[in-house]
Structure 1
Amino acid sequence: MEVISIKRFMLPFLLVALSITSSFLIKAQDVREPVLDVSGNAVRTGVNYFILPAGRGNGGGLHVASIRNRTNPLVVSQNADESALGSSLRFSPVDPKENTVRLSTDMNVKFTSMVISDSSTVWRIYTELIPQRYLVTVGGVVGNPGRETLGNWFKIDKYEDAYKLVYCPGVCNICRPFCGDIGVLVENGKRVLFVGRDKPLKVTFHKL
């Protein structure tokens, strides 16, 4: 009888232990791999970085430019001169408690080394400058994930031996946004960032 009592006691204990272990494993799998800078360190929130193209001869860093005689909004552009670092940026993951930028995770991107008098420096998607083109511009907002801020969220994914920027927000369960990689479109001699299904801009992250 004593052996039977021990077995009856152990069974629910084992079931609880298995449940806790399974929950831990599921949470561990949900933690995505961190994005690394060129020094091999995790990219952090609250820290300034330069986004630069991978490899030589592929242009310089990122800044803003005006196109088609429009100064509002300004588009995110790439310097043609590869020696130009561009403007520094910070990343803000959708989870405000997260201090590491992780792969395939929604985040806001904000220029930190510039001030624009009539606009924020947060990245967003804008479709009215060039018809049927999803350009990356400034003028977005940080936080408040949902339908109203759908155009303000970007992701970083691995691409070959470096990374790529992606627009495919997951902050609205009922929304069906256009998704694509961030590439470069030449408009009147200016290299502007846009969402497309062509070759993405392969990038690396350099801590300021």
Structure 2
Amino acid sequence: MKVINITRFIVPFLLVTLLSTTFFLVKAQDVAEPVLDVSGNAVRRGVNYYILPAGRGNGGGLQVASIRNRTNPLVVSQNADESVIGVNVQFSPVDPKENTVRLSIDMNVKFTSMVISDSSTVWRINTELIPERYLVTIGGVEGNPGRETLGNWFNIDKYEDAYKLVYCPVVCEICRPFCGEIGILEENGKRVLFVGRDPPLKVTFHKV
């Protein structure tokens, strides 16, 4: 009678099971933490939010404005009046299957309660208005990650007891973009969002 050595079958099975379990545990740990709104709920793709400064006396919500007698492109600015909640936005994570906005993950940001005839309302980085500054303007392209759309991708990180907006896209592996936190630049009495201000604008997210 032939004796079958079951060890030959059990050991490889256990090894495959162990490796598979380890892989899924690592993948689970790699999932970034969700960004939360002021109600403690995860910020979601396709849902309208107001971006407002954290704390009182720090100004109002975000909107668009013109600077230096230019109406194209319009810049993303902050209203100085804290009673103004601004224009609501939506976030679109780079992974089209991801519906939760997560920390440090590239995403598009766009104003959704306004229509501008000659421009999209997707945020992008622009150096044309003030060559030495990386301003945040509208007129970007949604989706299509890569070298051609490098200026259209932003992310959110924790900052003290709230969050900050950051420009440091990784949608192009061979590109080396200028990176920095987004703060406020005073331009002829207007509070313009741009990359590089320290400290950054500390923000919270309010579902509409």
TM-score per shorter chain, which class?
Answer: over 0.9
- The number of aligned residues is 207
Give, in whole Å, the separation in 2 of the partners of 1:86 and 1:149: 26
The correspondence of residues 41-56 of structure 1 with structure 2, limited to 5 A, is: 41-56=41-56
* Partner residue in 2 for 1:182: 182
What SS is found at the alignment partner of 2:137? strand
* Cα drift, residue 100 of structure 1: 0.5
- Fraction of identical pairs, as percent: 83
Aligned pairs (5 A) from 1:192-207: 192-207=192-207
Gapped regions of structure 2 (runs ≥ 5): none
Give the aligned partner of residue 121 of structure 2: 121
197-206 or 186-195, larger mean C-alpha shift: 197-206
Give CA-to-partner distance per residue, 1:136-160, whole Å, 9 cap, x none: 0000010000000000000000000
* Whole-angstrom distance in 2 between the partners of 1:86 and 1:12: 60
- For 1:160, give the aligned amino acid: E
- 1:23 pairs with 2:26: no
Q: What is the one-letter code of the residue matched to 2:113?
A: S
Runs of 4+ in 1 over 4 A off after TM superposition: none
Q: What TM-score do the two structures reach when normalised by structure 2?
A: 0.97
1:116 is paired with a residue of what secondary structure? coil
1:165 aligns with 2:137: no
Deviation at 1:10, TM superposition (A): 1.3
**CA deviation after TM superposition for structure 1 residue 197, in Å:** 4.7
Match of 1:10 in 2: 10
Unmatched segments (≥5 aa) in structure 1: none
The CA RMSD over aligned residues, in Å, is: 1.1
One-letter code aligned to 2:45: T
* Structure 2 CA distance for aligned equivalents of residues 109 and 45 of structure 1: 10
Cα distance in structure 2, aligned partners of 1:129 and 1:26: 45
Q: Which amino acid aligns with 1:170?
A: V
> Does structure 1 conserve the Cα–Cα contact (< 8 Å) formed by 2:157 and 2:164?
yes
